[in-house]
Chain A
Amino acid sequence: MEAIKTGDVKVGDGNFAAAHAVRMAKPDLIAIYPITPQTSLIEKLSQFRVDGLIDADMIEVEGETSAIGLTIGAAVAGGRVFTSTSSMGLNFMFDGYQMAANYRQPVVMVNANRENPAPAQISAGQQDVMTVSEVGWIQIHVENCQEIFDSVLMAFKLAEDPEILMPVSVCYDGFYLSYLREAIKFPAQETVDQFIPRQPRPVLGFDPPTFLAWRAIHDEDTAEYRLRQQIAYDKSKDKMDAIDEEFGKLFGRRYGGQIEEYRMEDAEIALVCLGSHTGTARVVIDKKREEGIKVGLVKVRTFRPFPKEKLAEAVKGLKAVGVIDRSVCFTWQGGHIFRDLKTSLYGHDYIPLVNFIGGLAGHDITIPLLENAVDVTLNAGEGKPFKEINWMALENL
């Protein structure tokens, strides 16, 4: 393989970006299992291994439950670990997935977002990650391939922070980002090493003999454990902002931490979204701005923990907000971001929230669809009656 030097710019897809970031993070153990659309990531990691570019203990497991199991094991012993998955692979590892969170193990994972199978088969969507968002994993959602690279490094930093010690998942839209080829800028290995140094943490060991068990913690101890877990989870929000700042100083790029605001300075309405279609939304915002509509964009990066305070502050005083969701939650008909934003704004001054569901099963969230979303949001902001939940491209249903 051709050597990559500091400052090099290479063209590669999202899986390429993730694989190189993992290589530079120097994990001790990587558990891999193929599933579309993350498979080319594990192929690249396997190639790195035979080319001697990566020193990790790599295991080709027989299923995702073992992938997460091996990473938990090595993490419990003190190692830096990585695995990746998608869709039903994520479903299949759900036992270990929530165990990693509950044992506070800094497992770092990449999920190439994909629809849950049935009825859709192999297609894009965010249903998989959104479905498992309630169990204590930190989720970083990204917009492009450079952000994938950078967020994987940030994920190791956040997961292994002694005050956090939680699993982190970098979620990028399968197909849209996993296979999209973009220019990726490579940092120096020393800068990466400086950014994610090894930090001591409690491990399973002999002096004194430690134990981790499901029956070891009872009653009020469990409540205390849960509360501490929640406090650390909340703390990760500020930590993410601080990490973004440090990343900016070292690497010269910043993403805003928990959220990023785009053209929000004098905005009267806004769109809120996350993932690959954020790029499309930027184009739409620029276009609408040219038409004289004061619309801005808020990009959610850490969907978990939900950036409640940051979002409430960002949309404060707006006339209306349109929320784009690429998944549905079976509470009411809306999407996950819509539900969480609406909950976050309870007790604040009323702002009309309009939900737009789209992009399921690989359906494109196009410029016209987002323009329409801006128009509908604008109407809602003018005090006209509006439909709360809108399924993009299914207006007649």
Chain B
Amino acid sequence: MPKNLKYKLATPILEKLDDELQTRGIGMCPGCGEELAIRYALRVMGKNTMVFTAPGCSPSALAAGTDKGSTLGIPSMGCYMTNLPPIASGVKRYLKRKGQDVNIICIAGDGVSGDVGFQPLSGAAERGENIIYMCLDNEAYMNTGIQRSGSTPRHSWTTTTPVGIAGRGKPQLPKYLPLLMALHGGVSYAATATPYYMEDFVNKLMKAKSVTDGMAYLHVLAACPTGWRAPADSFMQLSKLAVETNYFPIWESSYGQFRFTKTPKKVKPITAFTSAMGRFKHFTDEEIESFQDMVDVRYEQMQLQCSRHTGNEEKT
């Protein structure tokens, strides 16, 4: 029998969350979705939390502050891209040893989590370090100006995978980090989420917060209007389309038991998603087909994982 996490159900939740821990006036791009994700993540975590970040969009603007101070009302520490989970784990371990129960949350992007910082993250996950790790995946190195990452989808334009005579976007298939993370033995809880489904997201944050015997890993699709070449007010729409086209499956894994927590009633063709952004505007029919194939394969992988689970799926 799988173990069950003890947590309070989030519905109705949003009114009951803690005060906001961020100050106003943080330096994010207009329409940034990461800001929303972090705001709610910290409201769920509450004041008894320490935040650990590594270079990237949100950390630059949040924990490290924009000038001479942090924008957070709670302790925070800037780590390097290569040592975020171990530093957070070191703090957690020592505080636990001293009898202090503090929520430790790491917030970083896909470059830190999946590329340069993957080894320490994977090591911490295997050891079951009792930290919450939230990856805000905007599918490229957005903070340095939209460079290709391991999470950038196939054929996507970035400034280092431009479109020209000799190249048409990123040639490779991406690394599907959330599944890789969920398959680590020390990860008690893993989930994908988007702030578009806020209650689902908050539920998952609460489950993550309740984990006491391993790592909780949250993989949040952080639609990036700036880097994805879309209008500043498109974050919600892009997040919704990502789920409705099966581009970004919404699932959770509790002690290795996978299940979808949102599934579209009617799956839209991938063009509904790709046509909304400039990063895919060069797509030919063949590239659209190839992109659709990438999406289908990923979704089938997740169906396979979820097929072992006996629970019911929620419908959107």
Contacts and interface: CB of A to CB of B under 8 A. Distances in A.
B120 A209 contact: no
Contacts of B50: 204
Contact of A211 (B76, B90, B93, B127): B76
Given A59-B127, A69-B83, A99-B83, A215 B78 contact: yes
Interface string A46-67: 0000000000010111110111
A70 B93 contact: yes
B156 interface: no
Nearest to A59: B127
Contacts, number: 154
Given A73-B94, A77-B91, A205 B75 contact: yes
A73 B76 contact: no
Interface residues of chain A: helix, strand, loop or mixed (majority)? mixed
Contacts of B83: 65-66, 68-69, 72, 95-96, 99
Nearest to B63: A213
A68 B84 CA distance: 11
Interface string A295-318: 000000000000000000000000
Contact of B78 (A60, A69, A209, A214): A214
A260 interface: no
B78 A73 contact: no
A209 B65 contact: no
Given A69-B86, A216-B68, A211 B120 contact: no
Interface in A63-121: 63, 65-79, 81, 95-96, 99
Contacts of A95: 80, 82-83
A75 B77 CA distance: 13
A387 interface: no
A23 B312 CA distance: 53
Contacts of A215: 60, 64-65, 78
Contacts of B47: 206
Interface string A194-221: 0000000000111001111111111001
A63 B95 contact: no
Given A28-B97, A74-B90, A95-B80, A214 B127 contact: no
Contact of A62 (B53, B79, B126): B126
A204 B126 CA distance: 26
A28 B82 contact: no
B87 interface: yes
Contacts of A28: 94, 97
A69 B83 CA distance: 6
Name the interface size band of chain A: 35 or more
Contacts of B123: 61-63, 66
Contacts of A77: 90-91, 94-95, 98
Contact of A213 (B73, B78, B88, B93): B78
Given A70-B86, A99-B80, A57 B70 contact: no
A85 B112 CA distance: 25
Given A59-B127, A215-B64, A206 B93 contact: no
A73 B93 contact: yes
B110 to A, nearest CB: 19
B254 interface: no
A61 B72 contact: no
Interface string A30-53: 010000000000000000000000
Given A61-B86, A204-B75, A211-B72, A29 B63 contact: no
B58 to A, nearest CB: 13
Interface in B120-151: 120, 122-124, 126-127
Contact of A74 (B67, B70, B94, B127): B94
B69 interface: yes
Nearest to A93: B83
Contacts of B82: 65, 95-96
Nearest to B123: A62
B74 interface: yes
Interface string A334-356: 00000000000000000000000
> Which of A31, A60, A96, A217 has the most CB atoms of chain B within a 10 A radius of its CB?
A96
Given A95-B83, A215-B78, A69 B90 contact: yes
B41 to A, nearest CB: 17
Given A66-B85, A68-B83, 8 more contacts: A62-B119, A65-B83, A69-B83, A70-B87, A70-B89, A96-B87, A209-B70, A213-B53
16 contacts: A57-B97, A63-B123, A66-B120, A69-B90, A72-B90, A78-B94, A78-B98, A206-B75, A211-B77, A211-B78, A213-B63, A214-B55, A215-B60, A216-B64, A216-B78, A218-B68
Interface of B: 47-48, 50, 53, 55, 60, 63-65, 67-70, 72-80, 82-95, 97-98, 119-120, 122-124, 126-127
Q: Give 7 closest A-B pairs by Cβ, nearest first.
A: A73-B90, A69-B86, A62-B123, A213-B78, A69-B83, A215-B64, A73-B87
